[in-house]
Copies of this chain bind each other. A is one copy, B any other.
């Protein structure tokens, strides 16, 4: 097979038996030993849509390179034959090298190798910014919100919403926050309309800004790595609820936000997980905090259920091992 004949095909699009060049991220590498006492390496290559785990035996031409040079988190160009076997998908590697800057011309894009939001991060960020500018009418509050988004833009573009619970993929935090904001705007508009007699009136600005910022502390709680979001020491010891309020308070030193408005905004962040055992130091004691809590909770739980449903499996129900703690119904096997 001549070199020209081998095209570059995404790993997740390779067909059973197909040989091709492909870019892949080395997501895991661990040493093992056969019952006969011989060492081998188990490696996992992946792109955003597929993950392939297989052994590199001692007699493989790649054994030494694997042990010495292959690095978890690095990207590689492989020529390999893809096969779907009863041990799952496998790669028979013919050639392998680390990617080079030149590979970008050939289409290499590291962001295509990790699971990530189906939405474009820049566009999501843009919409969020637009909401912060247009929908938060209180000028200092809007400016504070815009500043926080802008300051943490680079982190927000890639961060997941959690290591495992929900939206656990690159861009997941942004996708989640945007969705929460949309929920929150709907709720603020609806309930503001339904209860015009409220005293004080429902503070739509606070609902919107609170929704945008409720998880902002996650930019310090976690950091993205090749294997997903990992918690920082600050994240473990302090947590995103407190870290997020810090960011808001720090930003507030540069914007003349009304004292009560700031207090209510901080309270939204502090209480957005509602119960102590769910992580909230205080319960939602304002109408606005209640709305943000629900706008958030429904989005997290719904995505968790869908992620469970999206996992492979043929039964009428998913497994019960998901963050919701119970099975999700796929549908009757023999529908009527």
Residues of chain A whose beta carbon lies under 8 Å from any beta carbon of chain B? 31, 33-36, 39, 86-87, 179, 182-183, 186-187, 190-191, 194-195, 197-200, 233-234, 236-239, 241-242, 245-246, 249, 258-260, 263-264, 266-267, 270, 276-277, 279, 281-283, 285-287, 290-291, 294, 297-298, 301-302, 305-306, 309-310, 316-317, 324, 326-332, 335-336
Q: Residue on B with the closest CB to A190? A: B182
Cβ–Cβ contact A332 & B260, under 8 A? yes
19 contacting pairs across A/B (C-beta < 8 A) = A179-B190, A186-B190, A195-B306, A197-B310, A237-B285, A238-B263, A238-B266, A238-B267, A242-B281, A246-B249, A260-B331, A260-B332, A285-B317, A285-B327, A285-B328, A287-B305, A290-B301, A290-B305, A294-B298
Residues of B close to A291: CB separation below 8 A? 298, 302
Complex Cα spacing A272 to B17, Å: 48
Complex Cα spacing A155 to B296, Å: 35
Complex Cα spacing A11 to B191, Å: 30
Residues of B close to A277: CB separation below 8 A? 276-277
Residues of B close to A270: CB separation below 8 A? 237-239, 242
Residues of B close to A242: CB separation below 8 A? 242, 245, 270, 281
Residues of B close to A237: CB separation below 8 A? 263-264, 266-267, 270, 282, 285-286, 329
A169 to chain B, nearest CB (A): 14
Cβ–Cβ contact A294 & B301, under 8 A? yes
Complex Cα spacing A233 to B330, Å: 10
Q: Residue on B with the closest CB to A232? A: B316
Residues of B close to A197: CB separation below 8 A? 310
Cβ–Cβ contact A236 & B317, under 8 A? yes
Cβ–Cβ contact B263 & A298, under 8 A? no
Q: Residue on B with the closest CB to A318? A: B285
Complex Cα spacing A191 to B299, Å: 9
